Amino acid sequence: MTELDDLRFPIGRFNPPASNDASIRGAQIETLRMLPERLRGAVNGLSDAQLDTPYREGGWTVRQVVHHVADSHANSYVRFKLALTEDWPTIKPYDEAAWAKLCDSSLPVDVSLALIAALHTRWVALLESLTEADFQKGYEHPEMGRQRLANVLALYDWHSRHHTAHITNLRARQGW
């Protein structure tokens, strides 16, 4: 792994788990439950200048990362609901890099932190209600093919830890 890979993927690249039983899913749901608090803690006390610092050269700023998490997790929540109410729906991908350049990605991070907190309260409640059969449902991603909800949950467990680590690792490197 190169230094750039270490900065881009501070917890490693996503690898789907070999098995995804209820105990593993419980830990993944707990990650989603804790994300709002952990993300808020990761940015706590940062100045605007620090929030506008990229986590790596050529990467998003801390502010953009927080707003990206809100965007990405909102999309995933909707995709879960579509998968639970339709038969393998085809979802619409979005250009996350383009979204990160839109004006709402320059808002104070508290806006997205509040959205993430409310969203995760609902998402975790939904996830905790799902049966084994529900986790085998999914959606068609035009670029990635069939995505089972059990694997998508694993991805968002990783995504939560991945982006939080971008911020906490930057803070550690900068001595913030």
The string of pLDDT tens digits covering residues 85-123 is 999 999 999 999 999 999 999 999 999 999 999 999 999
Percent above pLDDT 70 for the chain: 99
Number of helices (H) and strands (E) in the chain: give both, helices first. 8, 2
CATH superfamily, with its number, for domain 21-174: dinb family like domain (1.20.120.450)
Among 140, 74, 83, CA closest to 104: 74
Extents of the domains making up the chain: 21-174
Among candidates 126, 150, 120, which has minimal Cα distance to 25? 150
pLDDT score at 19: 84
pLDDT of residue 1: 56
pTM strictly above 0.85: yes
